[in-house]
């Protein structure tokens, strides 16, 4: 059970202290103090990476101990690539009239789930484009059919941007966005939806989001959908995609918004408990179970064609345009800032990217563990960073290695093709010094692999686990499912 299930009180902030104050960081790691936005920014810029990692690891061990680190066996099903949004970072979307546009049939989806169930999988992560041609009944029939055939499979599906488009497409009753989203969610939940993934989080800051997420919901809509899901007892995840046009402070702002709305859900659950004589009333409220962040993958995307910062002479001595705009945005205090009014320093905002490498990724993940103190799990993104950086992430605040990835189409469309089987994933966790443990969507432990029957300890020839192929959806009518060859080996 996570600390958030215990409905803990919000720890105090100490804004007069430096973010580098060792006493403050010790209290944060223990869960008895909370970082402010300026303190988090100071940590990001001034603390050595290894030291930041040690503090994040200390916080992680406070929550999870130093024995088990988890993974899940699921399948990422992207049921359609038809989408009316035009996100500049996406290589997956299609308008619908292209040869490689698709919407899976119910039977195709059932076949994928059957394959997952056959290897001991416990959940599907099902997301797709925002397809205006699919009515509500299509989704209700899809969900009820899955639950009838696979009652043991947890359905983790439909990110907030999809839900916002459902509101637009289906015109549900309600006076507010919360009411409308809750109505749609209740229908989906009744049909078989169990929880919501955190897709489409990207970066919340309006100056950035308005540049990269054309047609996608804004910060308030994203957070409102999740809050509506929490009000129905659903558990969700939150995500962040960074390393493009944003400033470093925008990442901190994003983390603070997740933390703030997690507080809101936990407070609502606490109040519900206090006003009821039934000790299980809080189960009616859900909350964020996990936070996962990953760097932008540029291949095959419009945003990827934007020039790297530092190519022009003298640029590296100047402030990155995203940082200029983020400073003016002031962690959300100035939400309507217009970069065009910020002078020459901001003139290239949106026209330059600052990509994220391994150290920047680890720094960001470690900071998220310290800032988002009320979210139980932090996931390491080996899918984008590769298996060994993913493994290293277990020393930088992450307690979870994510999924044995049978299939993925969105991120891999942008060039990322890392894929691991269960034995390799278990070995990565064990070689990092932990006991690999299979979990479910609520982070309850299912199988502790401490004995000789563990997937990695049964392997006698690791060469059979080096070359993997990640399933990718067939492109175009009548074509075979595409497979991308990989070279991913076990550790050492």
- Residue 219 counted as domain residue: yes
Q: pLDDT (tens digit, 9 = 90+) per residue, 139-148?
A: 999 999 999 9
DSSP conformation class of 303: G
At residue 330, the pLDDT reads: 97
Helix (H, G, I), strand (E, B) or coil at 42: helix
Long-range interactions of 442-449: CB distance < 8 A, separation 24+: 442/235, 442/289, 443/2, 443/70, 443/289, 443/290, 443/376, 443/377, 443/400, 445/68, 445/70, 446/122, 448/68
Position 56 pLDDT exceeds 70: yes
Query: What's the rounded mean pLDDT across residues 418-427?
Result: 86
Greatest alpha-carbon span in the chain: 68
The per-type count for the chain, helices as H runs and strands as E runs, is 16, 15
Interatomic CA distance for residues 480 and 29, integer angstroms: 50
**Cα–chain center distance at 451:** 31
Between the alpha carbon of residue 327 and those of residues 17, 45, 151, 248, the distances in Å are 21, 14, 49, 9
Q: pLDDT (tens digit, 9 = 90+) per residue, 97-142?
A: 777 778 899 999 999 999 999 988 899 999 887 777 888 999 999 9
The pair phi, psi for residue 279, each rounded to 5°, is: -70, -15
Q: Is 342 exposed, middle or buried (0-12, 13-18, 19+ CB in 10 A)?
A: middle
- Residue 306 counted as domain residue: yes
- Residue 35 counted as domain residue: no
Between the alpha carbon of residue 103 and those of residues 82, 193, 305, 392, 400, the distances in Å are 7, 19, 28, 37, 31
- Residue 5 counted as domain residue: no
Q: pLDDT (tens digit, 9 = 90+) per residue, 221-275?
A: 999 999 999 999 999 999 999 999 999 999 999 999 999 999 999 999 988 877 7
At residue 92, the pLDDT reads: 63
Interatomic CA distance for residues 45 and 58, integer angstroms: 20
Q: Residue 417 — very low, low, confident or very high, per pLDDT cuts 50/70/90?
A: low
DSSP conformation class of 290: E
- Residue 56 counted as domain residue: no
Position 413 pLDDT exceeds 50: no
**How many domains does the structure of the chain reveal?**
1
Count of C-beta atoms within a 10 Å radius of residue 95:
12
Share of the chain above pLDDT 90, in %: 69
- Residue 255 contacts residue 371 (beta carbons within 8 Å): yes
Position 34 pLDDT exceeds 90: yes
At residue 219, the pLDDT reads: 96
CATH number at residue 114: 3.20.20.70
Angle at 224 between CA 221 and CA 227, to 5 degrees: 155
- Residue 201 counted as domain residue: yes
At residue 457, the pLDDT reads: 97
At residue 315, the pLDDT reads: 87
Q: pLDDT (tens digit, 9 = 90+) per residue, 364-405?
A: 999 999 999 999 999 999 888 889 999 999 999 999 999 886
- Residue 430 counted as domain residue: yes
At residue 3, the pLDDT reads: 45
Which domain, by its residues, includes 292? 68-485
The H or E element that residue 148 is part of is: helix 136-149
Helix (H, G, I), strand (E, B) or coil at 328: helix
Interatomic CA distance for residues 398 and 392, integer angstroms: 9
């Amino acid at each position: 059970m996570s600390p958030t299930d215990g409905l803990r009180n919000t720890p105090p902030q100490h804004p007069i202290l430096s973010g580098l104050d060792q006493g403050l960081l010790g209290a944060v790691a223990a869960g008895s103090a909370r970082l402010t936005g300026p303190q988090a920014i100071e940590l990001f810029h001034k603390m050595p990476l290894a030291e930041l990692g040690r503090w994040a690891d200390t916080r992680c061990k406070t929550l999870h101990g130093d024995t088990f680190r988890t993974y899940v066996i699921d399948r990422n099903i992207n049921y359609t690539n038809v989408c009316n949004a035009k996100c500049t970072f996406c290589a997956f979307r299609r308008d619908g009239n292209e040869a490689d546009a698709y919407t899976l049939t119910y039977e195709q989806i059932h076949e994928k789930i059957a394959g997952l169930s056959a290897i001991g999988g416990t959940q599907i992560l099902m997301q797709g484009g925002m397809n205006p041609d699919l009515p509500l009944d299509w989704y209700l029939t899809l969900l009820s059919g899955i639950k009838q055939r696979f009652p043991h499979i947890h359905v983790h599906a439909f990110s907030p941007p999809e839900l916002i488009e459902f509101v637009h497409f289906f015109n549900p009753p309600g006076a507010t966005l919360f009411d409308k989203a809750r109505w749609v969610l209740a229908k989906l939940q009744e049909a078989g939806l169990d929880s919501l993934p955190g897709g489409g989080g990207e970066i919340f800051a309006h100056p950035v989001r308005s540049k990269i997420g054309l047609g996608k919901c804004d910060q308030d809509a994203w957070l409102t959908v999740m809050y509506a899901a929490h009000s129905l007892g659903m558990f969700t995840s939150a995500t962040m995609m960074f390393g493009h046009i944003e400033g470093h402070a925008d990442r901190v702002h994003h983390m603070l918004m997740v933390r703030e709305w997690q507080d809101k859900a936990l407070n609502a659950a606490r109040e519900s408990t206090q006003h009821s004589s039934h000790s299980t009333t809080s189960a009616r409220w859900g909350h964020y179970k996990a936070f996962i962040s990953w760097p932008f993958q540029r291949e095959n995307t419009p945003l990827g064609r934007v020039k790297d910062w530092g190519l022009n002479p003298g640029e590296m001595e100047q402030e990155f345009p995203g940082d200029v705009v983020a400073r003016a945005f002031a962690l959300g205090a100035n939400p309507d800032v217009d970069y065009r009014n910020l002078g020459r320093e901001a003139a290239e905002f949106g026209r330059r990217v600052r990509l994220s490498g391994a150290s920047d990724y680890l720094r960001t993940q470690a900071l998220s563990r310290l800032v988002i103190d009320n979210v139980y799990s932090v996931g390491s993104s080996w899918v984008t960073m590769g298996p060994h950086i993913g493994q290293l992430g277990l020393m930088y605040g992450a307690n979870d290695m994510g999924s044995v990835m049978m299939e993925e189409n969105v991120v891999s469309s942008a060039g990322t093709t890392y894929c691991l089987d269960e034995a390799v994933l278990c070995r990565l966790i064990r070689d990092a010094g932990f006991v690999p443990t299979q979990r479910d969507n609520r982070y309850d432990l299912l199988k502790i692999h401490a004995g000789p029957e563990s997937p990695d300890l049964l392997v006698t020839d690791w060469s059979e686990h080096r070359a993997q192929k990640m399933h990718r959806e067939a492109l175009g009518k009548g074509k075979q499912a595409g497979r991308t060859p990989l070279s991913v080996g076990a550790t050492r």
